[in-house]
């Protein structure tokens, strides 16, 4: 338990005039009384850890410095001493035997002109406050010399703007080494010359400079505006929003930890303007689509550049090789293998000023992830425990009565009799059954268990952090399926005594064990007839709907998919070492060494028992696949900083050397004689290699950046980079990229200060620059060959066949970015507004260009003369409507209005790509048949030809009649968040909104009305008789109905609808335990919380989820968690 030194007892002494003899005598009594009270309270509230350390030493005429060094070694405590204090020290004579640290210090300083305080694990030594002061003590003249030789003893108190004393405030003489720190009551004393300027600085507060011409100086420090002055991580450095010239946004750990997500990208949804994130599945390994300021490429990589603690992190999708698309939306986002609890902040870089120094790798923006680091101070143990539950929303489906009516109606419309295979209506199945298959197959409750712990601390020179975590997520499917993650994370930082050499080592390891079914049961849950047989027989075996006395099986049991098991094991290692040395004041040499390896091992088992007994063919099989992506990075850098009276500049130059290796090996075994053999693929009679690929990507570049800040009013940033890639031929491997940016803090202009009192901060920003893109497959400039896995008659050798056409003329895509921004602070920065207008143009597009079959190749990688433009407006406002001791209310809102279109495509009309792209329209468009609804006469779906004719005849329409263009890009998106704190309660919630058109999948999955599968209740609005106005065509499976559905309806505009939504993305309620309870429990901090994710969605979308837009796949879960967070 930690007892802090009281801050209410202070020395309220003001030396604004020289006191008289009588007043000095009274003053001595007051000071003595307060000193006695201070020491008494200090002894009562000193930390228990201090007394646990024991000091033993003997000193005989030993210099005080050596004695303190001995105490430091025995206790582990650091000392903070005024640089000139020990010059006046006296030799020490004493003997200590098993004394506590305070007892030892009391004896050491007994006859010294110093005193001490203990803050955490730091012992602050300051000069004793003098009470018998005279005029000479405040101001002495050296032979009547100038001010530079006048010596003054300055003392006073430092407080915050609420009147609370600040302990540990650094007080330094500007341009010199003399300094001190404030005591627990905020007081200080300092000897310096009268001409000196004192600099008062404290973490989280604005620094102040004060002339030392007065005998007593009381200083009030104002807290930094957290939005303008918080540190933001940028490429190869840091900045603040106040002085930054870039379009960047940062989300901190506090925000991330309030959301029960296993993929940190999902914590950014709705919080960062210009960043669009789409969750495609509710599966734990589900893919996440990410774009920054739109899509820049026609067909190549559009993922942003990810950097974790300075180490490039692969954005490449680790899609399960063995799933074969059985689970829609699964993709294995690599960010799912980073523990959100280990993250300190995530910064999104958007414009050229922020990304150009990364060159080609950041053509689509960059996302920088900074993990948590240790901090100097008392050792802390953090413990977070969380458990929760998740479920999915349901669709309204037909009950048995309505379903059977629909089926029989179809038979009547088709003039067709009930066949022997119509088990649902011919009496084989029990027509009185009414099973809710959504409840049976996907109606379970997913469980979440999350345990995170860490220990951190350190002294002035060395800080550390080490932590670990465990996360288990189950599924809503029946059975024991789960995704289990275990991770460790550490960071060690050391700074030499002379502050010249620094080293930081960090590492993260995460192991993910994924046990899933090989198929998503969502489609069966929606389509199984409600009168289908039960899942199990009376003996507990799977029911296949066998007709008694026959070998006929009428039911494909959906639980059979759960017997076809999938197990995936993925491990992710990220390591980074930073070394730096201060060669000269302001000149620093550093090197960053990074390593990242993601490896996955998969196995899929397909037993014979997972198929109907009617299946007599041996289809037992097992498959294994091993994938790995390994990269290393070396980045030496030189940085030079220089401060001037009215400005400063920073010059950075460096080089990057990176290598990435990819490998895939997939093998399938078949012909097993029994299911028990499946676990050992080596026992398979037949083995085949499905994939055996290896590739190496090498990249290097040189870069530089200059930042000049003139008088905290004008800021200019210049950046450049020359990149080289192994993906192009030797003549085109290198390219140059650059950016130039400027910022004008016009609120610092005198004419602005004189004419407005509302505006407290104002800045204009302008940036322009270029980046590149080489995101094509490795070796695309070479002719590639594959093994022919058949035995060639000649000498039984394995042959080779070409698989990819060479193109040695491939070049970089080029993206030019323009950004105009404004930052405003209103009412003393209680309201902050940020606006950005951007125009990005990407040309010389790299695509897989289709080739005719006569060439023997399907496509060739090449550059085409096409340009994509992304233009948009980003707006964000942050406000603090209420901020006092009882209530704090923060609100933040943002919106992005993007526009994506192809502005140039040379000879597009002469290529097959004209069926996919249109000049003047977005990249993500779909050409479909215009849909006219259901014909009142025929009851069939009707469509419009290019000539304007209505038809339901498949032979009347060709691909040229697909004249309707559907744009599936978001029209606008954003979020509104609120954080309200009332005493010890904190409520935080975020609403995300998206305006978009999405894929409806209205009947593509569910099928035609009248087929042997269940339907949504909306199918009741179907055509039944002539002149009916209906949404769905008539029930039946006639040729005309089938053709109208399969060939036309599924590729018409009817398949797209308004997928806009407003979603309560996250809500969190937190309660902080009282200080009295914490003291009794000997705990530094304790918080109880309840969190919710995706609890409410407002949308007119037809399906289960307007975000993922897959009716046949598991939608994102609605999650509720409870937990406790402790700091010990």
User: What's the Cα-to-Cα distance from 570 to each of 318, 453, 615, 665, rounded to whole Å?
Assistant: 9, 22, 34, 15
Structural domain boundaries, residue 305: 252-374
Q: Determine phi and psi for 503, rounding to 5 degrees.
A: -140, 135
SS (H, E, C) 498-565: CCCEEEEEEEEEEEEEEEEECCCCHHHHHHCCCCCCCCECCCCCECCCECCCCCCECCCCCCHHHHCE
What pLDDT score does 736 carry?
Answer: 94
Q: Determine phi and psi for 837, rounding to 5 degrees.
A: -115, 125
What CATH number is associated with residue 364?
A: 2.170.130.10
Q: What distance in Å separates the CA atoms of residue 239 and residue 1069, rounded to the nearest whole number?
A: 32
What is the tens place of the pLDDT at every residue in 373-384? Answer: 998 778 899 999
Assigned domain for 287 exists: yes
Q: Determine phi and psi for 843, rounding to 5 degrees.
A: -125, 180
Q: What distance in Å separates the CA atoms of residue 829 and residue 883, rounded to the nearest whole number?
A: 12
Among 653-667, 762-776, 1070-1084, which is the least confidently predicted range? 1070-1084
Assigned domain for 66 exists: no
What pLDDT score does 53 carry?
Answer: 64
What is the tens place of the pLDDT at every residue in 283-299? Answer: 876 788 999 999 999 87
776 has a pLDDT exceeding 60: yes
Assigned domain for 344 exists: yes
Of the candidates 800, 818, 922, the one whose C-alpha atom is nearest the C-alpha of residue 868 is 922
Following DSSP, what letter does each residue of 246-297 receive, concatenated?
Answer: S-EEEEEHHHHHTS--SSGGGGGTTTSTTEEEEE--SSTTB-EEEEESS---
Burial class (CB in 10 A: 0-12, 13-18, 19+), 213: middle
User: What's the Cα-to-Cα distance from 575 to each of 371, 400, 594, rounded to whole Å?
Assistant: 12, 58, 6
- pLDDT band for position 781 (cuts 50, 70, 90): confident
Mark out the alpha helices in 139-269 (DSSP H runs): 226-229, 253-257
What pLDDT score does 129 carry?
Answer: 54
Q: Which residue has the higher pLDDT, 138 or 956?
A: 956
Measured at the alpha carbon of residue 322, what is the angle toward residues 316 and 323, in degrees to the nearest 5? 90
> For residue 763, what are the contacts with CB-CB under 8 A and spacing of at least 6?
242, 743, 744, 745, 746, 747, 822, 823, 824
Q: How many helices (H) and strands (E) does the chain have?
A: 15, 54
Among 181-195, 343-357, 467-481, which is the least confidently predicted range? 181-195
Mark out the alpha helices in 266-399 (DSSP H runs): 352-355
Among 42-46, 739-743, 851-855, which is the least confidently predicted range? 42-46
Q: Which two tokens stand for residue 617?
A: 């063919």
Assigned domain for 313 exists: yes
Among 308-317, 446-455, 458-467, 949-958, which is the least confidently predicted range? 308-317
What is the tens place of the pLDDT at every residue in 541-569? Answer: 999 999 998 989 999 999 998 888 888 89
**Span 446-450, average pLDDT:** 95
- Overall number of domains in the chain: 1
Q: What distance in Å separates the CA atoms of residue 1003 and residue 934, rounded to the nearest whole number?
A: 14
Assigned domain for 276 exists: yes
pLDDT, the chain, mean = 85
- pLDDT band for position 207 (cuts 50, 70, 90): confident
Assigned domain for 261 exists: yes
Highest averaged pLDDT of the listed ranges 25-34, 150-159, 171-180: 150-159
pTM of the entire predicted model: 0.81
Q: Which two tokens stand for residue 567?
A: 């197990």
Under 8 Å between Cβ of 347 and 333:
no
> For residue 284, what are the contacts with CB-CB under 8 A and spacing of at least 6?
262, 336, 473, 475, 483, 514, 516
Of the candidates 1113, 1123, 1121, 1125, the one whose C-alpha atom is nearest the C-alpha of residue 281 is 1113
Q: What distance in Å separates the CA atoms of residue 476 and residue 439, rounded to the nearest whole number?
A: 10
Of the candidates 315, 335, 270, 31, the one whose C-alpha atom is nearest the C-alpha of residue 155 is 31
Q: Which residues pair with 660 in a beta bridge?
A: 631, 697
Measured at the alpha carbon of residue 461, what is the angle toward residues 458 and 464, in degrees to the nearest 5? 35
Assigned domain for 298 exists: yes
DSSP β-ladder status, 798-804 and 734-744: unpaired
What pLDDT score does 88 carry?
Answer: 73
**Span 782-795, average pLDDT:** 64
First to last CA, the chain: 9
Question: What is the chain's alpha carbon radius of gyration, rounded to the nearest angstrom?
Answer: 36
Of the candidates 106, 100, 117, the one whose C-alpha atom is nearest the C-alpha of residue 9 is 117
Under 8 Å between Cβ of 1110 and 379:
no
Q: What distance in Å separates the CA atoms of residue 624 and residue 646, rounded to the nearest whole number?
A: 65
What pLDDT score does 106 carry?
Answer: 84
What pLDDT score does 656 carry?
Answer: 95
- pLDDT band for position 162 (cuts 50, 70, 90): low
Of the candidates 390, 579, 372, the one whose C-alpha atom is nearest the C-alpha of residue 487 is 372
133 has a pLDDT exceeding 50: no
Q: What distance in Å separates the CA atoms of residue 905 and residue 406, rounded to the nearest whole number?
A: 50
What pLDDT score does 802 carry?
Answer: 79
Task: Give the DSSP letter of residue 908.
Answer: G
Assigned domain for 709 exists: no
């Amino acid at each position: 338990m930690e007892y802090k030194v009281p801050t209410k007892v202070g020395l309220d002494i003001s030396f604004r005039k020289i006191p008289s003899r009588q007043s000095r005598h009274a003053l001595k009594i007051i000071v003595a009384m307060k000193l006695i009270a201070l020491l008494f309270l200090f002894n009562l509230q000193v930390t228990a850890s201090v007394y646990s350390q024991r000091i033993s030493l003997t000193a005989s005429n030993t210099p005080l410095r050596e004695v303190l060094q001995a105490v430091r070694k025995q206790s582990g405590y650091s000392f903070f001493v005024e640089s000139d204090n020990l010059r006046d020290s006296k030799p020490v004579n004493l003997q200590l035997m098993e004394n506590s640290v305070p007892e030892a210090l009391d004896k050491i300083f007994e006859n010294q002109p110093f005193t001490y305080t203990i803050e955490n694990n730091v012992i602050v030594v300051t000069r004793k406050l003098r009470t018998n002061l005279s005029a000479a003590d405040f101001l002495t003249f050296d032979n009547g010399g100038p001010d530079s030789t006048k010596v003054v003893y300055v003392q006073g108190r430092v407080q915050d703007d609420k009147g609370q004393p600040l302990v540990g405030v650094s007080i330094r003489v500007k341009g010199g080494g003399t300094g001190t720190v404030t005591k627990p009551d905020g007081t200080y004393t300092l000897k310096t010359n009268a001409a000196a300027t004192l600099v008062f600085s404290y973490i989280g507060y604005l620094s102040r400079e004060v002339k030392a011409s007065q005998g007593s100086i009381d200083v009030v420090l104002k807290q930094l505006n957290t939005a303008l002055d918080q540190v933001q991580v940028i490429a190869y450095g840091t900045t603040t929003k106040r002085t930054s010239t870039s379009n960047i946004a940062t989300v901190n750990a506090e925000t991330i930890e309030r959301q029960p997500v296993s993929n940190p990208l999902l914590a950014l949804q709705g919080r960062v303007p210009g960043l669009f994130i789409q969750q495609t599945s509710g599966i734990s390994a589900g893919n996440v689509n990410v774009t920054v300021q739109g899509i820049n490429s026609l067909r190549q990589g559009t993922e942003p550049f990810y950097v974790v603690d300075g180490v490039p992190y692969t954005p490449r999708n680790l899609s399960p090789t063995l799933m074969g698309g059985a689970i829609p939306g699964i993709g294995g986002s690599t960010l799912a293998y980073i523990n959100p609890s280990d993250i300190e902040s995530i910064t999104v870089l958007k414009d050229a000023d922020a990304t150009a120094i990364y060159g080609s790798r950041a053509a689509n923006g960059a996302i920088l992830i900074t993990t948590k680091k240790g901090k100097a101070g008392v050792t802390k143990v953090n413990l977070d425990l969380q458990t929760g539950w998740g479920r999915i929303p349901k669709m309204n489906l037909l009950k048995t009565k309505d379903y059977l009516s629909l089926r029989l109606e179809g038979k009547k419309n088709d003039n067709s009799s009930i066949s022997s295979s119509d088990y649902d209506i011919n009496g084989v199945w029990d027509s009185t059954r009414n099973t809710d298959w959504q409840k049976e197959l996907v109606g379970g409750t997913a469980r979440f268990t999350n345990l995170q712990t860490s220990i951190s601390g350190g002294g002035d020179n060395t800080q550390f952090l080490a932590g670990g975590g465990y996360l288990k997520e189950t599924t809503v499917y029946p059975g024991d399926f789960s995704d289990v993650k275990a991770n460790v994370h550490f960071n060690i930082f050391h700074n030499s005594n002379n502050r010249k050499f620094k080293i930081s080592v960090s590492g993260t390891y995460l192991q993910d064990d994924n046990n899933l079914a090989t198929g998503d049961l969502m489609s069966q849950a929606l389509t199984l007839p409600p009168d289908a047989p039960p899942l199990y027989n009376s003996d507990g075996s799977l029911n296949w709907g066998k007709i008694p006395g026959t070998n006929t099986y009428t039911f494909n049991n959906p639980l059979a998919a759960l017997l076809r098991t999938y197990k995936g094991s993925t491990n992710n290692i990220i390591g980074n070492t930073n070394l730096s040395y201060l060669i000269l004041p302001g000149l620093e040499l550093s090197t960053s060494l990074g390593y990242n390896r993601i490896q996955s091992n998969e196995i899929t088992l397909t037993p014979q028992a997972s198929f109907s007994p009617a299946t007599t063919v041996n289809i037992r099989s097992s498959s294994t696949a091993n994938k790995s992506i390994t990269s290393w990075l070396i980045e030496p850098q030189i940085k030079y900083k220089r401060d001037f009276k009215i400005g400063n500049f920073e010059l950075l130059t460096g080089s990057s050397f990176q290598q990435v290796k990819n490998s895939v090996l997939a093998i399938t075994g078949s012909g097993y004689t029994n299911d028990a053999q499946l676990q050992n693929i080596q026992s398979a009679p037949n083995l085949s290699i499905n994939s055996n690929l290896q590739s190496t990507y090498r990249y290097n570049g040189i870069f530089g950046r200059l930042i000049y800040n003139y008088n905290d009013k004008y800021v200019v940033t210049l950046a450049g980079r020359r990149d080289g890639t192994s993906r192009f031929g030797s003549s085109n491997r290198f390219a140059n990229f650059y950016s130039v940016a400027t910022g004008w803090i016009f609120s610092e202009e005198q004419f602005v200060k004189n004419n407005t009192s509302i505006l407290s901060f104002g800045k204009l920003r302008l940036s322009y620059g270029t980046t590149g893109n080489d995101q094509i497959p490795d070796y695309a400039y070479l002719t590639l060959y594959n093994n022919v896995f058949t035995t060639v008659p000649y000498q039984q050798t394995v042959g080779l066949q070409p698989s990819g056409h060479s193109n040695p003329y491939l070049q970089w895509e080029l993206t030019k970015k323009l950004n105009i921004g404004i930052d405003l602070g209103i009412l003393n920065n209680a309201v902050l507004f940020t606006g950005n207008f951007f125009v990005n143009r990407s040309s010389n597009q790299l695509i897989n260009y289709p080739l005719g079959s006569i060439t023997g190749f399907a496509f060739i990688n090449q550059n085409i003369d096409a340009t994509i433009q992304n233009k948009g407006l980003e707006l964000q406002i942050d406000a603090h409507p209420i901020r006092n001791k009882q209530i704090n209310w923060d609100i933040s809102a943002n919106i992005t209005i993007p526009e994506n279109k192809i502005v140039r495509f040379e000879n597009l009309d002469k290529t097959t790509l004209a069926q996919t792209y249109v000049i003047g329209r977005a990249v993500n468009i779909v050409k479909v048949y215009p849909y006219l609804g259901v014909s009142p006469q025929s009851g069939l779906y009707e469509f419009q030809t290019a000539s304007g004719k209505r038809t339901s005849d498949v032979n009347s329409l060709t691909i040229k009649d697909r004249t309707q263009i559907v744009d599936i890009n978001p029209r606008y998106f954003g979020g509104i968040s609120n954080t309200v704190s009332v005493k010890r309660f904190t409520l935080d919630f975020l609403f995300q909104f998206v305006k978009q058109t999405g894929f409806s999948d209205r009947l593509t999955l569910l099928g035609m009305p009248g087929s042997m599968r269940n339907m949504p209740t909306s199918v009741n609005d179907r055509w039944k008789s002539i002149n009916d106005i209906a949404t769905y065509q008539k029930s039946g499976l006639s040729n005309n109905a089938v053709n109208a559905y399969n060939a036309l309806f599924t590729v018409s505009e009817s398949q797209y609808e308004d997928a806009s939504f407003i979603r309560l993305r996250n809500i969190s309620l937190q309660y902080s335990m009282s200080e009295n309870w914490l003291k009794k429990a000997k705990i530094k901090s304790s918080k109880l919380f309840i969190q919710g994710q995706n609890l409410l969605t407002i949308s007119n979308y037809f399906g289960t989820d307007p975000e993922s837009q897959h009716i046949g796949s598991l939608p994102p879960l609605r999650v509720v968690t409870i937990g406790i967070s402790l700091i010990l």
